[in-house]
Amino acid sequence: MNTFAMKNWEESVVSGTEGAPRVAYAHATLTYSGLIEGESVLDYLLYYAGEGYDGGDTTSPGLERIEGSVDGRKGSFVIKHDTGFDAQGISSAFEIVKGSGTGELAGITGSGTTTGALGEPTMSYTLEYAL
């Protein structure tokens, strides 16, 4: 099974106020297991439609640099997320940023998804890739 877990999440409002439409910045670190083995650093620019954790049927962009291995090949790469979220959970579609692969992952291309419920210790991902 392909899963990831959040090690930490730091978030701050950059425009607007709590309980109202606002934009926030989030910085997180994650650990991956399954097809991807390793850790990542993720930065999001989030939009909240109002009170609570509702993205208002929009998606928020994020960039994530993953360092570790894919199917046993070591290196790093960057993915670009488009993530939707609400109080129940998240779902995203992502693409590997062209030219971002290093080491044995140089030249990697591909895409995938993430899904999960808020409050759960792990979430799932898919990844289809080519080298």
Tokens of 65: 């640099």
Domain boundaries in the chain? 3-130
**According to the model, what pLDDT value does residue 118 have?**
83
**According to the model, what pLDDT value does residue 52 have?**
73
Which residue's entry shows tokens 């779902």?
91
Which residue's entry shows tokens 């990697």?
108
**According to the model, what pLDDT value does residue 85 have?**
86
Query: Which residues are bridge partners to 123 per DSSP?
Result: 4
Which residue's entry shows tokens 């097809």?
35
**According to the model, what pLDDT value does residue 96 have?**
98
- Superfamily of structural domain 3-130: SO1590-like (2.40.350.10)
Q: What is the pLDDT along the chain (131 residues), one digit of tens a residue?
A: 999 999 999 999 999 988 889 999 999 999 999 999 999 999 999 988 887 777 778 889 999 999 999 999 999 999 999 999 887 889 999 999 999 999 999 999 999 999 999 889 999 999 999 99
Residue (of 53, 60, 2) closest to 31 by Cα position: 2
- Beta strands 89-96 and 73-85: pairing type? antiparallel
Rounded to an integer, what distance in angstroms lies between the CA atom of residue 31 and that of residue 13?
A: 25
Which residue's entry shows tokens 């930065």?
43
**According to the model, what pLDDT value does residue 19 have?**
84
